[in-house]
Amino acid sequence: MMRLPHFTYRAPKSVAEAASMLASGPGEAMLIAGGTDVLPNMKRRQQTPKTLIGLRNISELQTLTNGDGLCIGAGVTLTALVRDARVRIHYPGLWQAVAQIATPHLRNMGTLGGNICLDTRCNYYDQNYEWRKAIDFCMKKDGQTCWVATSSPKCLAVSSTDSAPALLALDARVRLVSAGGAREVAIADLYQNDGINYLTRRPDEILTTVVLPDPKGRKSCYWKLRRRGSFDFPVLGVAASARFEGDTVVNINIVLGAVASRPLLASKAAAALLGHRLTDENIATAAGIASDAAKPMDNTDFTLGWRKRVVREFVTLALRDLRGDDVRAERYRYALQSLEAVG
């Protein structure tokens, strides 16, 4: 049996109360929302907080309200997002990403805030204590060396959140609140390419809200690669969004998930399409540029060479999807699940 280590549980009723609890125990307390990431990590002794601060009773984190676009409380569950018609109709890229996260049970429990802050993953790290001890601990927890690349000065664990690439593609912003004040940043600036310090969030900050801009006719989609049509984390995620004038691209984002320690903006690929039409030729060029930017490491499922090759195929599919091609057959082939049945 894998028991949890001992911890003290606290249940604040407001963000302000939670922020003052977080400020009073720096480095020793962790937030728990749905618990679907932090509890497995605690059972494996990857994370051993002395105090868990539960966000479940904070009603201000559970709201989904219309602003210029949509304001989503960090504590909204993934199931609530999938069932929300505004998300499905106006932000299909986010909807498709969330509908493919984990399993129905885990989506009932897991929250958007927890998904955004999800710990990075690695085959050498997501193992129980005895396993990690037996090969000698790695740099991310208790050790010195990175077992994926022994000469690497930094940890290369993989950003494995499905929602983050979709949110970056939609130019979402996030609000962070601490006892000292509040700030709002573009979600792209919440992440950095370091498997240990993958968030720029300070340890005393609480992510309270995700702000989505008015979609204004923007199209979006998300393509996920995983071994099974359920349970599995992304081995690759491609999120894309675009606005068109006639057939011409006037605004476009392409974001790659699970190929680095942060969601990766494929800016050069996007720039190559700006002001052009999404012809097969232009799509092929952009997909080539994007796949050059992806540098996956050998620390997830599937072989490395194939994972790198498949980036081109997925970016092509995402761009064809934005163009309006009928990609239902390809969607089913890769999702291995019928997205219409999710909800």
Partner 1 sequence: MPESNSLTKQHLHISMRLNGEPREVSFASYKTLLEVLREDCDLPGTKHGCELGECGACAVLLDGEPVLSCLIIGAECDGREVVTVEGLAKDGKLHPLQETFADCGAAQCGYCTPGFLVTAKALLDRCPNPSREQIKESLSGNLCRCTGYQQIFEAVEASIARIAACRVSGNSEVV
Q: Which is nearer to ligand SF4, 221 or 256 (CB)?
A: 256
From the list 85, 84, 91, 53, the residue with the least C-alpha distance to 221 is 91
> Residue 321 binds which entry of partner 1, ligand FAD, ligand SF4, none, with Cβ cut-offs from 5 to 8 Å by kind?
none
> Residue 233 binds which entry of partner 1, ligand SF4, ligand FAD, none, with Cβ cut-offs from 5 to 8 Å by kind?
ligand FAD
Q: Is 2 in the site for partner 1 (CB under 8 A)?
A: yes
- Decide if 7 contacts 29 (C-beta within 8 A): no
- State how far the Cα of 283 lies from the Cα of 287, in Å rounded to an integer: 6
Residue 291: Cβ-neighbour burial (10 angstroms; 0-12, 13-18, 19+): buried
Three-class SS state of 49: coil
- Cα–Cα separations (whole angstroms), residue 19 to 110, 177, 207, 272: 21, 7, 10, 44
Q: Is 231 in the site for partner 1 (CB under 8 A)?
A: yes
> Residue 315 binds which entry of partner 1, ligand FAD, ligand SF4, none, with Cβ cut-offs from 5 to 8 Å by kind?
none
Q: Is 122 in the site for ligand SF4 (CB under 6 A)?
A: yes
x-marked contacts with ligand SF4 along 72-111 as a string, rule CB under 6 A: ----------------------------------------
Q: What is the maximal distance between C-alpha atoms in the chain?
A: 60
Q: Which is nearer to ligand FAD, 204 or 321 (CB)?
A: 204
- Hey, what are 255's tokens? 């974001």
**Of 91, 95, 124, 191, which lies in the binding site for ligand SF4, with binding defined by CB under 6 A?**
124
CB of 75 to partner 1, least distance (A): 13
- State how far the Cα of 283 lies from the Cα of 302, in Å rounded to an integer: 26
Q: Is 38 in the site for ligand FAD (CB under 6 A)?
A: yes
